[in-house]
Structure 1
Amino acid sequence: MSLLEKEVPGVVMTPDNIRSKKLPWAVDLGVAVVALIVAAAVVLGLGLGNWVLVVVVGIVFYLAGMFAAATRVEGRRSARNRLWKTLIYAACILAILPLASVVWTLVSKGAARLDGEFFGTSMNNIGARDPNGGAYHAIIGTLEQVGLATLMAVPLGVLGAIYLVEYGRGKFALTVRFFVDVMTGIPSIVAGLFILAFWVLIVSPWFNNGTPRFSGFAASLALTVLMLPTIVRSTEEMLRLVPGPLREGAYALGVPQWKTIVKVVLPTALPGIVTGVMLAVARAAGETAPVLLVAGGAAAINFDPFAGNQSSLALYVYQQAGDASRFAPERAWTAALTLVALVLILTIAAKLLARRNRLT
């Protein structure tokens, strides 16, 4: 008698019964079809709701039927495993559905004005009955404002996180961490009001013969205030994930702490830091209130972020969505699609730059 045929506590182990039974996929599919049919009969027959409720009730019936069939064929333990696996897949699908819906809506409605005129002209001298006009001025404003905000927020945020992780001890570090946490939840309009009261009304008159001036740079300052807490918190968490032995090995070789941070810690945490930075950039690019308060918005192209009103894609979407012109909704959808595509391109480019996981 071979080892497979050896009798163990009254059971003969053979090649046929050492493998657990599996529920055929056809049965699984059949249970799903029957569950949807029964759900449609119950919901639509009793007039309880529409097809959305049919799908929800059908999922409940499917889970119950699948659990009963799997318990009979595979056993109760395997049936529970199959049930929870199905629930996890369903949760994943439910999480993806809103994102897929948003992307589909943006692409389907925003493709109408994807032309050269939209990306090459502004809204200057465009009337309510004019089908022309584009978002060139808004694209320029978004790139300049978010670019300046990134140049200011990233060094400050990364250095602040390095201080909290590597040097910060005592009450001062706790105070900094507390205010960073508080700033994470402030509304964007508060940041805009702060820059309006400080920069536009107090500082800008010094450079403009006593007259307050809106500018794209003021919008960049407001976006910097919004980006800083996100960058600090995400960078801090990434730096804390760097293994301690990496630092200890560098210290054992006589490497100074600042050089260890630059050559070892930051390159190791770089992919996570880039992710946090891009999250902050995405938030800044989609803000409307700060730009409206301190940049004013403009229909014409303004390449100078330090002087004069300037628009942005988010503000352009807001203005076009509330415009009475029948051509405005198409411009708003295309501008929203452009904004999402711009953030996606910047994120992919940043990920590719950080892919090698080291500073160059």
Structure 2
Amino acid sequence: MTTDTNAVGNFEQRMNKGLYAKRKFFNILGLIFAVGAMAFGLIWLGWILKDLILKGMEAMLTMPIFTADSAVNGLRNAMVGSAMIASLGLLIGAPVGLLAGVYLAEFGRNSWLAQATRFMNDILLSAPSIVIGLFIYALIVKGYGDSGLLKGHGFSGWAGAVALSLIIIPVVVRSTETMLNLVPNQLREASYALGAPKWKVVTTVTMKAAKAGLTTGVLLGFARITGETAPLLFTAMNRLYFSLDMSSEMANLPMTIYQFAASPLKQQNTVAWAGALIITFSVLALNVIARFISRDKK
């Protein structure tokens, strides 16, 4: 009997060792594939950043990038135009996204309207930006007829801002709903127990508790629209000289990069690299700020 027990024990030990060796092999194999995939991506990303930094800094050191307009190999007008269009798009889209996200998380929940809104938001979130640009082109730039509310207003900074606002809205809606859903229900229940009305609970308890997450979502949405080119191609177009007039064609960095990169002139190609470097570091700065705001606080 003892011999049989020992034999069974030895057999189980051999089986466990074989199973452990098999699992260890597949674990090492998975790690090799994961590290290899990461290294493959980082190599190309590093290559892109190296060329971007070297060629972009060359342009900044040899050309009046920040003091001249794009007509004379500068980017002053494009930077100001991009800041105005993107900021206006943020001011239009962020409040709409925040209010919609608050409704989905606090008021609608599982209602049919909330479900329909989430479905439409998911579609808008995954829609190509060029489709949104075409929609605003047909609605505002070209218009319908020569008179009335829907008449065409031509290319303008306003049309570009509206197009960018439609891109940022679904991003803010998704992040707002997610952040508010992470707030513990105990906070809401304690507020209700003290006699606070629904609107006060939402504004002073849940939104305050999720303030860092809401701010992060808005900043990430702003970073998303900063480098968008396709919507501006059909709405704001571009101009070579400085202008603060939002009712006409307006210079912007994405369109300037797009046009100068395809130009046969070497100087304009160099300016395009400088513009790409400025946009890259602008988006990087926004992401760093968002990470800093959303970091865990002890």
Q: TM-score, normalised by structure 2?
A: 0.81
Match of 1:167 in 2: 107
1:20-69 C-alpha deviation (Å, 9 max, x unpaired): xxxxxxxxxxxxxxxxxxxxxxxxxxxxxxxxxxxxxxxxxxxxxxxxxx
Is the contact between residue 260 and residue 272 of structure 2 (CA under 8 Å) also seen in structure 1?
yes
| Distance in 2, Cα, partners of 1:157 & 1:114 | 37
Is structure 2 residue 70 aligned with structure 1 residue 123? yes
Is structure 2 residue 166 aligned with structure 1 residue 219? no
Percent identity of the aligned residues? 33
Is the contact between residue 227 and residue 283 of structure 1 (CA under 8 Å) also seen in structure 2?
yes
Is the contact between residue 292 and residue 315 of structure 1 (CA under 8 Å) also seen in structure 2?
yes
Amino acid at match of 2:126: G
Aligned with 1:294 (options 213, 217, 235): 235
Aligned with 1:140 (options 80, 87, 93): 80
Is the contact between residue 204 and residue 212 of structure 1 (CA under 8 Å) also seen in structure 2?
no
1:197 Cα shift? 2.1
Match of 1:110 in 2: 56
Match of 2:14 in 1: none
By percentage of residues, which structure has more helix?
2
Identify which of structures 1 and 2 has the higher relative contact order when contacts are C-alpha pairs closer than 8 Å and 6+ apart: 2
Aligned residues: 278
1:146 Cα shift? 0.6
Match of 2:265 in 1: 325
| Distance in 1, Cα, partners of 2:185 & 2:177 | 15
Match of 1:193 in 2: 134
Query: Over aligned residues, Cα RMSD in angstroms?
Result: 3.1
Amino acid at match of 1:97: I
SS of the aligned residue for 1:284 comes to helix
Is structure 2 residue 181 aligned with structure 1 residue 181? no
Aligned with 2:46 (options 95, 100, 119): 100
1:9-48 aligned at under 5 Å gives the runs none
Distance 1:166 1:308, change over 3 A: same
| Distance in 1, Cα, partners of 2:70 & 2:49 | 26
Is the contact between residue 213 and residue 308 of structure 1 (CA under 8 Å) also seen in structure 2?
yes
Query: Structure 2: which 5+ residue stretches go unaligned?
Result: 1-5, 7-16
| Distance in 2, Cα, partners of 1:219 & 1:332 | 21
Amino acid at match of 2:51: T
Is the contact between residue 205 and residue 213 of structure 1 (CA under 8 Å) also seen in structure 2?
no
1:56-75 aligned at under 5 Å gives the runs none
Distance 1:298 1:242, change over 3 A: same
Query: Structure 1: which 5+ residue stretches go unaligned?
Result: 1-9, 11-70, 127-132
| Distance in 2, Cα, partners of 1:267 & 1:156 | 18
Rg bigger for which structure?
Answer: 1
Q: In terms of mean alpha carbon deviation, does 166-175 or 333-342 score higher?
A: 166-175
Distance 1:356 1:90, change over 3 A: closer
SS of the aligned residue for 1:117 comes to coil
Is structure 2 residue 94 aligned with structure 1 residue 154? yes
| Distance in 2, Cα, partners of 1:355 & 1:215 | 39
Amino acid at match of 1:272: G
Distance 1:75 1:293, change over 3 A: closer
Distance 1:300 1:206, change over 3 A: farther
Is the contact between residue 291 and residue 311 of structure 1 (CA under 8 Å) also seen in structure 2?
no
Is structure 2 residue 222 aligned with structure 1 residue 281? yes
Is structure 2 residue 252 aligned with structure 1 residue 312? yes
Is the contact between residue 64 and residue 74 of structure 2 (CA under 8 Å) also seen in structure 1?
yes
Q: In terms of mean alpha carbon deviation, does 110-119 or 293-302 score higher?
A: 110-119
SS of the aligned residue for 2:138 comes to helix
| Distance in 2, Cα, partners of 1:201 & 1:75 | 68
Match of 2:9 in 1: none
Match of 2:280 in 1: 340
